[in-house]
Copies of this chain bind each other. A is one copy, B any other.
């Protein structure tokens, strides 16, 4: 069984946006063991869509299309698939109702073209969209299966994981199962070297490493006659990886994030946390608050962007700022201590740095960031030199703040328990 991906959108052809949907879909279907030998992009143009559908349907069992399901005139993916398969478009009652509800909830009057989104090719199944008005569509024809997805990544990704993955799995004879071991504190090359013997001898399960922002993910994927058999093949390899990487592994769950691992760690140890951020401007706190249930653990955050706010909100001393400057080990220390004291939390993460593009000097260049972590009396501060633009420096800072926090919390717990 093989699939191919057609992304529809003039903005892709003009290079206005990067095609993250293709990478997302490709990664998901490769996990399922479905072969994918072609990806393509066509504009919002009926003739070229039809010609691509002809080409694609001649070589692929499943065609996954993204984009062009919106309410406007230039959205015509659905119309192209209907024309190509010679099926009329009919209104899907459930989709119409959910569009009605979507607008009623917002107190907005839908315009005539909004109803266009409730149309599906006759015989197709509408797939509910939790994050927008355009439903997805699954259409099975004699030769080929068509899956139409909305273009905005936030809509596409959650629809794919919740509804398209189970559908694709239901098509397969065998079953693929994979788990991802997530690692911090080890680079990709080193991680690969540490498991070279496993990679070289891999067959089923297969092992692949992926470099993420300040993380390495190792995916173990097995194929079996059923899920149970595939799971059984994956289990010992995951166990071996956990043994090799020890506490650098923060999770072996696909859905888990580093911030979630930290929240769980704090929650199970009845500890609370806070943040004091300068250059990240709330990126650490908003990442933590993104975890459902963070309210059990996260008390409050301070964005102390100006020197004055560092002094006033978390009590950084004027003398320290004058002597060492806002971007210094000393100020990071006082920010973490002060934040913990004001918020009465057990853990406090601090970040102060120069994100650029301006503000760097020879002595303190753009990319210099100090990250601190207070845990019940002790503060650890690390100095980082990041490269990249402002956003890159800020996201690396936020990620490394979480990595340091996890490290400090683990050290504290192990000291209390064994030390």
Chain A residues with a Cβ under 8 A of chain B: 10-20, 22-30, 36-43, 45, 48, 52, 55, 70-74, 102, 105-106, 108, 110-111, 113-114, 130-132, 152, 154, 158, 178, 187-190, 192-193, 199, 208-211, 213, 219, 221, 275, 277, 279-286, 288-290, 292-295, 298-306, 308-309, 313, 343, 356-358, 385, 387-392, 394-395
Contact = CB atoms under 8 A, between A and B. Distances in A.
A230 B110 CA distance: 36
SS class of chain A's interface: helix, strand, loop or mixed?
mixed
Contacts of A102: 387
Contacts of A299: 305-306, 308-309
A10 B208 contact: yes
B12 A18 contact: no
A11 B36 CA distance: 11
Q: Across the A-B interface, give the 8 residue pairs with the lowest CB-CB distance, nearest first.
A: A282-B282, A281-B289, A15-B27, A301-B303, A15-B26, A300-B309, A282-B285, A282-B286
Contacts of A190: 111
B281 A301 contact: yes
28 contacts: A11-B210, A13-B36, A13-B37, A13-B39, A15-B29, A16-B27, A16-B219, A38-B41, A38-B52, A40-B41, A55-B55, A71-B189, A72-B209, A74-B208, A74-B209, A102-B387, A110-B189, A111-B193, A130-B387, A132-B388, A158-B389, A279-B289, A282-B289, A290-B390, A290-B391, A300-B303, A300-B306, A301-B301
Contacts of A199: 73
Contact of A41 (B12, B22, B282, B392): B22
Given A15-B25, A20-B18, A303-B289, A48 B37 contact: yes
Contacts of A36: 13-14
A19 B13 contact: no
Assembly stoichiometry (copies): 2
A18 B18 contact: yes
A398 to B, nearest CB: 8
A245 B28 CA distance: 41
A404 B402 CA distance: 32
Contact of A391 (B110, B154, B357): B154
Contacts of A387: 102, 105, 130-131
Contacts of A275: 282, 303
A242 B113 CA distance: 24
Contact of A357 (B192, B292, B304): B292
Contacts of A298: 281, 305-306
Contacts of A39: 12-13, 19, 40-41
Contact of A389 (B19, B26, B130, B294): B130
Nearest to A41: B39
A58 B351 CA distance: 52
Contact of A189 (B14, B27, B105, B113): B113
Nearest to A310: B300
A255 to B, nearest CB: 12
Given A13-B38, A15-B28, 4 more contacts: A14-B30, A18-B19, A70-B188, A111-B190
